[in-house]
């Protein structure tokens, strides 16, 4: 994941570069990082700051920007402005939960409130930037989720979890919950030029704003979809069902490969559909499982 993020940062080294980039290009370069809403929000925020020619320097004004919450705003103020503000990202939650032996899922309201209070208590007034960077790095490199390096930790002598031999119990895991399964059909329509028919997804929701293959709920919908698109199928192939897991559900999808012979202008909708030549069209943002499908089935 780090190489993907480094590539993104290298391509957009400042706010102006990101703000002036087309969203399709931004989403394409974000591919592999997941949570595409973050890329959309980064692009929106960069555009707002670029247009106003002013970078917000207060907690309230930063939180008002798309995709920036309390912890991110605190990190920006601490690191960029050396303004003393607590943060509570995943790494810091883990460090503080172990250091103070806080029991309970950190995403719960009461535990979350308690950790914010602890974070505020330990955030110094001076050298806030150094402290914020240090505690994030401590969680990322030493107080890790598994195999923490307690003997290398500068907090070792005062860590309550270590003293109580509960390091591997804390933070308390999220209560288990059965993840639902959604079933879907992925329609991979390939024309005689070996181009794949793509649709642009809605700007919000799963894979929002990305280009993807049409998705149907059932086989019964396929015939009406083909008629609507004026596609004449010359060959049809059903592939094995695959699974892609999101944070809150599993997506079991069956790819259906359709070789079609149809006039291109019968199906094109400006900005919403296109015929895509795999690995030759640049700056097309595709969901990772769709790109992987193309790599497997499309002959160049």
Asked whether residue 71 carries a pLDDT value surpassing 80, the answer given is: yes
**How many Å apart are CA 181 and CA 152, to the nearest integer?**
42
Q: One fold for both 2-163 and 181-297? A: no
What's the confidence (pLDDT) of residue 18? 96
**How many Å apart are CA 50 and CA 31, to the nearest integer?**
24
Q: Tell me the mean pLDDT in the region 196-221.
A: 90
**How many Å apart are CA 274 and CA 198, to the nearest integer?**
5
What's the confidence (pLDDT) of residue 35? 81
Task: Give the CA dihedral 96, 102, 69, 133, nearest 10 degrees.
Answer: 0
Query: Which among 286, 239, 231, 279 is positioned nearest to 259, based on CA atoms?
Result: 231
Distances (CA, A) of 4 to 10, 29, 130, 141: 10, 8, 26, 20
pLDDT band at 175 (very low <50, low <70, confident <90, very high): confident
Asked whether residue 147 carries a pLDDT value surpassing 60, the answer given is: yes
What's the confidence (pLDDT) of residue 136? 97
Asked whether residue 282 carries a pLDDT value surpassing 70, the answer given is: no
Q: Tell me the mean pLDDT in the region 190-210.
A: 89
Distances (CA, A) of 93 to 2, 63, 138, 181, 213: 21, 20, 11, 30, 39
Q: Which residue has the higher pLDDT, 58 or 262?
A: 58
What's the confidence (pLDDT) of residue 251? 93
Q: Tell me the mean pLDDT in the region 134-157.
A: 97
Question: What confidence tens digit (pLDDT) does each residue in 85-116 have?
Answer: 999 999 999 999 999 999 999 999 999 999 99
Mean pLDDT rounded to a whole number for the chain: 90
**How many Å apart are CA 1 and CA 33, to the nearest integer?**
6
Q: Tell me the mean pLDDT in the region 213-241.
A: 91
In the chain, the percentage of residues whose pLDDT exceeds 90 is: 67
pLDDT band at 156 (very low <50, low <70, confident <90, very high): very high
Domain ranges in the chain are 2-163, 181-297
**How many Å apart are CA 20 and CA 86, to the nearest integer?**
32
Query: CB–CB of 212/198 below 8 Å?
Result: yes
Query: Which among 226, 203, 234 is positioned nearest to 37, based on CA atoms?
Result: 203
The secondary structure of residue 48, as a DSSP letter, is: H
Strand partners, 103: none
Asked whether residue 132 carries a pLDDT value surpassing 70, the answer given is: yes
Residue 125 burial (CB < 10 Å; 0-12/13-18/19+)? exposed
Q: Tell me the mean pLDDT in the region 169-179.
A: 90
Asked whether residue 267 carries a pLDDT value surpassing 60, the answer given is: no
Q: Which residue has the tokens 């005062």?
A: 158
CATH entry, 2-163, from 3.10.20.30, 3.40.309.10, 1.10.340.30, 1.10.132.50: 1.10.340.30
Backbone phi, then psi, for 195, in 5-degree steps? -100, 145
Question: What confidence tens digit (pLDDT) does each residue in 3-31 have?
Answer: 667 888 899 999 999 999 999 889 888 87
Provide the CATH topology of domain 181-297.
Nucleoside Triphosphate Pyrophosphohydrolase (3.90.79)
Q: Tell me the mean pLDDT in the region 189-200.
A: 90
């Amino acid at each position: 994941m780090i190489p993907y993020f480094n590539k993104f940062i290298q391509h957009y080294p400042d706010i102006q570069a990101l703000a002036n980039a087309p969203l399709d290009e931004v989403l394409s370069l974000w591919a592999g990082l997941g949570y595409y809403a973050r890329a959309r929000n980064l692009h929106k925020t960069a555009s707002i700051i670029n247009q106003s020619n002013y970078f917000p320097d207060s907690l309230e004004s930063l939180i008002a920007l798309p995709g920036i919450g309390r912890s991110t705003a605190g990190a920006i103020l601490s690191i960029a402005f050396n303004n003393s503000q607590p943060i509570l990202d995943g790494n810091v939650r883990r460090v503080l939960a172990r250091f103070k032996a806080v029991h309970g899922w950190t995403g719960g309201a009461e535990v979350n409130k308690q950790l914010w209070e602890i974070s505020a208590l330990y955030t110094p007034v001076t050298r806030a930037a150094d402290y914020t960077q240090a505690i994030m790095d401590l969680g990322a490199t030493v107080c890790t989720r598994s195999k923490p390096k307690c003997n290398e930790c500068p907090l070792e002598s005062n860590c309550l979890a270590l003293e109580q031999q509960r390091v591997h119990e804390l933070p308390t895991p999220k209560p288990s919950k059965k993840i639902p399964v959604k079933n879907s059909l992925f329609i991979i329509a390939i024309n005689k030029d070996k181009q794949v028919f793509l649709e642009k997804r809605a700007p919000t929701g799963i894979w929002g704003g990305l280009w993807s293959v049409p998705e149907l709920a059932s086989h019964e919908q396929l015939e009406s979809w083909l008629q609507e698109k004026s596609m004449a199928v010359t060959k049809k192939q059903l592939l094995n069902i695959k699974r892609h897991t999101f944070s809150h559900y599993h997506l079991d999808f069956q790819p259906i490969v359709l070789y079609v012979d149809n006039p291109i202008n019968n199906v094109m909708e400006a900005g919403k559909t296109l015929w895509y030549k795999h690995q030759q069209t640049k700056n097309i943002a595709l969901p990772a499982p769709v790109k992987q499908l193309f790599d497997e089935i499309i002959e160049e």
